[in-house]
A and B are shown apart, each in its own frame.
Chain A
Amino acid sequence: MNCQNFENVVSDLASSQIMEAEVRELALAHTNECVICKQRLQHEELLTRGLRALSMEVQSVQAPGDIELRLREAFQARPSLPPAAAAHAQRRYWLVAAAAILLVVFSALAVRWHVATPVPYKPEIVKTTSSSEKESPVNPDSATTAEKQRPVQKQLVANGLRKPKPHYRPHPAPAALQNSAVAINREVTTEFMPLGYLNPASLQDGGQIVRIELPRSKLASFGLPVNMERYNEKVKADVLMGVDGLAHAIRFVQ
């Protein structure tokens, strides 16, 4: 052990702190070789004795008794919570917590109900046989196809459509319309599939459903299976038209 290593352990050595026996032996051996470190250890031991003497001197020192009396007075005078009040406060805490939980649950249910509730609307079903009915372009592909096939056979006017979703999932209004159509015509239909970008504002003032016929091969473009034996046959479809004259969704009818 050198003097620098000895310096690191001399305090613990002088204070009789717990240390490795080997380090202790090496440190003590070093004091036999180095006079300065031996003197350093003696000074540290003297300091330790002085500190312990001081510690013993003040060990019996205690705070004056009148402090306890003053603290008792302060304790009695403090606005303490009696146990009943504390229990009441705790009960109130749990009530508030329960109310908060109920509020969250009801909020979640309300949001869910708002999403799932069908939007009230009254579809007006009008049968039209005139093929000269004004036909608006659907989208580039559908419009050209529709023109080629002269598709309009039956038109369902749906006033009161509002706030359609951008994602055209089973929407309340079309679903209701679908149900009524099925009930009337006993037809089997697919769900409405969105045609390109849908602006919800365009359906707020109403809309139309236009019955068209398409080549069966068009089913493939919507990801639906096509029966190759009936490839050349036509298939019926309903196109959901907005007041802006654009086609927003389509469903196929069997």
Chain B
Amino acid sequence: MELSASPLRIESDPAHSGKCMKAKVDLSDHELLRQMMAGDEDAMAQLYRRRQAGVYRFALQMSGSQTVAEDVTQEVFLFLMHNGTTFDPARGSLNAFLLGVTRNYVLRRLRADQALISCGDDFEDESMGTAMRTHPDDSPLNSLTRAETIEAVRKAVLSLPERYREVVILCELQEMSYGETAEVLGCAIGTVRSRLHRARALLLEKLQPHDEQSAAPATVETARCFA
């Protein structure tokens, strides 16, 4: 039979590949990585499908650019293909390892791209100032306002300095614990807490309604002294 004559054809058989993938679903990240480094393409695919969303979202939220996020996601998994042996399970999870690599690639890309750096601490947008005026009402009538709020928060997060942005994204948007975030960033948990506190203060400052900002500049000054 032709299928049994060539192992390559067996590997490319969708049914066979599906069975292999199903068998790999229950494997741990580390085991998948080990198999991937031994040349198992299905293990690589399974690992990618399991971890790509987190990597892509983190890169997207850090950069604000889909192009950058796609490039970085690809680079991260290429890095894993060639340098997977550098992962040490004793030092943390593979997810934290991947996000740490993602962070490095994104920061390298952002530093190379001066246009993105220009939207720094002084980033202003009209929609950001109105975000705090919206009421937390889940009524369908407020759907447009809710979308505006989300957009304003997204822009405010994107305008944060990198070290605060990454903490907000990991802790608030990716809903990781302080410990996991510290693992990704390679810093102490206390540092994560203090950066998150400062980041939230900056976000509040950016999302403050413009009329309130102009009416009470002293509040802004106080907020800047949190760190």
Give me the interface of A with B, judged by CB distance under 8 Å: 7, 11, 15, 43-55, 57-58, 61-64, 67-68, 70-72, 74-76, 78, 80-83, 86
Contacts and interface: CB of A to CB of B under 8 A. Distances in A.
A47 B207 contact: yes
A63 B48 CA distance: 10
Q: How large is the interface on B (under 10, 10 to 19, 20 to 34, 35 or more residues)?
A: 35 or more
A62 B38 CA distance: 27
A67 B70 contact: yes
A53 B89 CA distance: 33
B184 to A, nearest CB: 17
Contacts of A7: 226
Contact of A61 (B60, B77, B196): B60
7 smallest CB-CB distances across A and B, nearest first, come from A63-B56, A50-B153, A51-B172, A55-B173, A63-B52, A62-B53, A63-B73
Contacts of B30: none
A27 B49 CA distance: 44
Given A11-B197, A11-B200, A71-B78, A46 B175 contact: no
5 contacts: A46-B136, A61-B57, A64-B70, A75-B81, A83-B39
Given A43-B132, A68-B52, A50 B41 contact: no
Given A11-B197, A58-B61, A70-B74, A50 B52 contact: no
Interface in B106-140: 131-132, 136
Given A55-B175, A58-B60, A47 B203 contact: yes
Interface in B34-78: 38-39, 41, 44-45, 48-49, 52-53, 55-57, 60-61, 69-70, 73-74, 77-78
Interface in B192-207: 196-197, 200, 203-204, 207
B53 A61 contact: yes
Contacts of B210: none
A72 B39 CA distance: 11
B88 to A, nearest CB: 19
Given A71-B74, A83-B38, 18 more contacts: A43-B132, A44-B200, A44-B204, A45-B136, A47-B153, A50-B152, A51-B172, A53-B149, A54-B150, A54-B173, A55-B174, A61-B57, A62-B53, A64-B70, A74-B78, A76-B41, A78-B81, A80-B39
